[in-house]
Amino acid sequence: MRHRDIRRVSTEASRDKFKTFLAAKGLRVTNQRLAIFDAALAQTEHFTAEELLVHARALDESVSRATVYRTLPIMTESALLREIDVGRNIKFYAPNRDDRAQQAQIICLDCDKIFEINAPFMEWYGTTVSSKLGLTPVSQRLQVSAHCNAFRTTGQCPHRNN
Ligand SMILES: [Zn+2]
């Protein structure tokens, strides 16, 4: 039942895209790879490869760690997922939603939580400053590292444990 709920989240279109990419890489469409795909696209929070392994195994317990690590780059290459580099050894991933709004990332240094907020002004700002220099922007990002005010006063981060 849970599996069916999750399947509904990942649209047929993105599933087809994933299958096409697998084929292009000479990889078979297996239940394990589809479980990884479904689990990844169902996530609303950023996740690590290890977290994805847990979610994928909830759908198909035969999913191996190796398959998760081999499938993740295929999903980022096909733009189904994006990789979020927060300047640490660990990589975070998030599903690429359809809305193309610019997002700013705010990272809590106390709990490692990554918040994303829509930041439409970023696009405007990037375009404005670039055009003054006769340039066309290709990409830009805003990433803010922050401490919790609550952590500083109470010693407890309200974002920790999720
Ligand atoms: Zn925090």
Q: Domain boundaries in the chain? A: 2-95, 103-154
Q: How far is the CA of 73 from the centre of ligand 1 (A)?
A: 29
The 3-state DSSP class for residue 154 equals helix
pLDDT band at 21 (very low <50, low <70, confident <90, very high): confident
Sign of the Cα torsion 40, 69, 102, 150 reads positive
pLDDT tens-digit series, residues 36-93: 999 998 888 889 999 999 999 999 999 999 999 999 999 988 888 888 887 778 889 9
- Distance between CA atoms of 123 and 86, rounded to whole angstroms? 21
**pLDDT recorded at residue 69:** 95
Q: Which CATH class is domain 2-95?
A: mainly alpha
Mean pLDDT check: name the lowest of 51-55, 73-77, 108-112, 147-151. 108-112
Q: What is the distance between the alpha carbons of residues 27 and 151, in angstroms, rounded to a whole number?
A: 47
46 alpha carbon – ligand 1 mean position (Å) = 15
Q: What are the E-state strand segments in 4-156? A: 81-84, 92-95, 103-108, 114-118, 142-146
User: Is residue 94 over pLDDT 70?
Assistant: yes
Task: Decide which of 137 and 3 is more confident.
Answer: 137
Distance of CA 128 from the midpoint of ligand 1 (Å): 33
Partners of 81 in beta bridges: 95
Provide the CATH number for the domain formed by 103-154 in this structure.
3.30.1490.190
Among the listed ranges 10-14, 75-79, 146-150, which one has the minimum average pLDDT value?
A: 10-14
Residue 91: how many other CB atoms lie within 10 Å: 15
Say how many Å lie between the CA of residue 154 and the centre of ligand 1: 12
pLDDT of residue 50: 96
Average the pLDDT over each of 15-24, 29-38, 83-92, 147-156 and give the range with the smallest value.
83-92
